[in-house]
Structure 1
Amino acid sequence: MSLLAANPIPYWASAGKTREVFAEAFADFQGIGFTAVKADVPEGMTASEYRDWIGGYGLAPSLSLFNSPFDETVALGAEIERARVFAGDQVALGLDRTMISSMARPERLAQPAAGAGFDAARLDQAIEMCGEVCRVLRSEGLRPLHHSHVGGIFETEHEITKLLDDLGPEVIGFGPDTGHLRWAGIEPAGFIRRYADRLGGIHIKDVFPDHLGRNDLSYHDAARTKRLWAEPGLGVVDFAAVLDAIPADYDGDFMIEVDEPSVDSKRESHRMSFDWAVKALAGRLR
């Protein structure tokens, strides 16, 4: 059975990752009924202190995300050391897995979901770097799961499948985001079925049809229209097919993520998402 987690992105995206911002999000999540939250240990706080803090709101830590450009803008040694520190916190929280992603190539943020500036050599180098970081995470007791994200170096179906196939299941697992896959033109259910034996976590995200197949707005401009991300069930992701593709023995959590709510209230957005999830995931949650 899985936990139903929430990612407080809309709380901190513009306000910053402050203690006050997180406290507001945690109080909302507790009031709505969520049982877990994405594990982001604030700077200056130990993993133990963080676990006690969210526990005060009735929340357990759920899988976090290690993010890197995996390109020429970062040094492998520095990313490996950052991964070791990150893994130490996550393992101390009692977690055994994490998402791993790339999400910030400038040309892809400017022209999202189109594979802008594709470079085969750069992709090969990114896969090699990602593999090294994954091996370090594994050595520290944390199972890495690739997390699809528009705007990163692993954006298109070709890039994601090459990453997963080249590195193999011994190095990297699979932790998809249904909304990012759909925005990139990938049918989530079929893709999840393809890598179902490597599935260790999932972000439940819906997407409106308004910006699909278009790249006339930047990533952030599209999000600001409030017609990109949708609360689950309001967009075009076929969640019946997605849930059918998830193996019966799936042991990961379900994390609700709506980066930019389609409604004015962050709390109301999460309440809508929670109500949908309780019905759609009946029998899968603890």
Structure 2
Amino acid sequence: MLKMKVSCHLITWEEDFVKGMEEASSLGYRACETFTRIALKCEDRSDEFKALFEKYGLVLSALYGGGRFSDASQFHETVAYNARVARFAAQNGSDRIVLGPRGPRTAGGTTLEELKTAARVINESAKRCFDLGVKACLHPHLNTEIQDENELDAIMEMTDPNFVFFCPDTAHLTKAGMDPVTVMRRYKDRIAYMHIKDVTPEEPDRTKFPILSGDEALPIFCELGLGSIDFPAVVRLLEEIQYDGWMTIEIDQSTSTPRNSLMVCRDYVEQKLSIPISNRM
């Protein structure tokens, strides 16, 4: 059985992160990631932030940083922002920050010069985070400057593996045309955090989505086990590399309620992947 720890993102609750904490806790989750803009509202009231986590029996798995890495004019601003996020994360018991790139994408893809600039900014941001006891983990993301495989490979090659780690997101990698297992194997020594979510099939069978609340269009990402990603293969790779870090379940958009979606994911992870989330197992 994997030693990894399972977390959940409260993105589905949007601004109502307290309700998200309450419902995630009621489902047995013991850790969460939340919007950084919400967390930083408590930057000068850290005790209140900590008290919320204690109330619901949760720990903070990570916060999401990042920036427009390819814009040299934002170098100092981006580095300072990520150090700020890392400092707050560390004060609240987390040692991970996700480095998320931003859009828009350059027509035809991010250029080599833009990638070189991005690598410098990412390197410096990660070093500042590391000095604070926090590992910075690069998260390739659709519709941003680091989306495609060649862009990911270039950044990983041009950054220091002692400071810049990897946060694979199974859905974003898949939708960008990559095989998550192949990419994760390539950067196995740098994986320090991860997001898992599923991808809705191109021609979905709506009868396989038991939590649909109506005839609404299906989102691009869906609850674990309802989409096309081979999660057993992902787990086998994690077992092979003896990954023992956080695996954060993320549902961008629910087709019923945030709680129902997180329950579907919990049941899939526990029953199909044999990874415990709650103390019910």
TM-score band w.r.t. shorter chain: 0.7 to 0.9
- CA deviations over 1:130-184 (Å, ceiling 9, x no partner): 1111111112211111112112211100000111121131121111100000000
Q: Distance in 1 between matches of 2:276 and 2:190?
A: 18
The alpha-carbon distance between structure 1 residues 94 and 120, as it changes in their structure 2 partners (threshold 3 A), is same
Alignment-mate amino acid for residue 207 of structure 1:
V
8 Å Cα contact 1:189-1:238 kept in structure 2: no
C-alpha RMSD of matched pairs (Å): 2.2
Aligned counterparts of 2:108 and 2:49: Cα–Cα separation in 1: 39
Task: Give yes or no for contact 2:97–2:137 (8 Å, CA) kept in 1.
Answer: yes
Q: Is the 8 A contact 2:6 2:249 kept in 1?
A: yes
Aligned to 1:61: 60
1:196 maps to: 188
Which amino acid in 1 is paired with 2:92? Answer: L
TM-score normalized with structure 1 length: 0.83
Length-normalised TM-score, structure 2: 0.85
Relative distance call for 1:42 and 1:248 in structure 2 (3 A) is: same
Change over 3 Å in CA distance of 1:66–1:236 after alignment to 2: same
CA shift at 1:283, angstroms? Answer: 5.0
1:144 aligns with 2:142: no
User: Within 2, Cα distance between the matches of 1:119 and 1:229?
Assistant: 28
Unpaired stretches in structure 2, ≥5 consecutive residues:
204-215
Separation (CA, whole Å) in 2 of partners of 1:9 and 1:225 = 19
Map 1:1-286 → 2, pairs under 5 A: 1-12=3-14, 17=15, 21-39=16-34, 40=36, 41-45=39-43, 46-72=45-71, 75-102=74-101, 104-107=102-105, 116-210=108-202, 225-246=217-238, 247-261=240-254, 263-283=255-275
SS at match of 2:70: coil
By how many angstroms is 1:206 displaced?
0.5
Contact 1:202 1:254 in 2 (8 A): yes
Q: Is the 8 A contact 1:38 1:64 kept in 2?
A: yes
Matched to 1:250, the amino acid is Y
The CA distance in 2 between the partners of 1:78 and 1:181, in whole Å, is 28
| Separation of aligned partners in 2, 1:165 and 1:225 | 39
- Pairwise CA distance, 1:42: 4.0
User: Partner of 1:28: helix, strand, or coil?
Assistant: helix
Corresponding residue for 1:220?
Answer: none
- Change in Cα spacing, 1:270 to 1:285, as seen in structure 2 (3 Å) is closer
Structure 1: any 5+ residue segments left out of the alignment? 109-114, 212-223
Match of 1:215 in 2: none
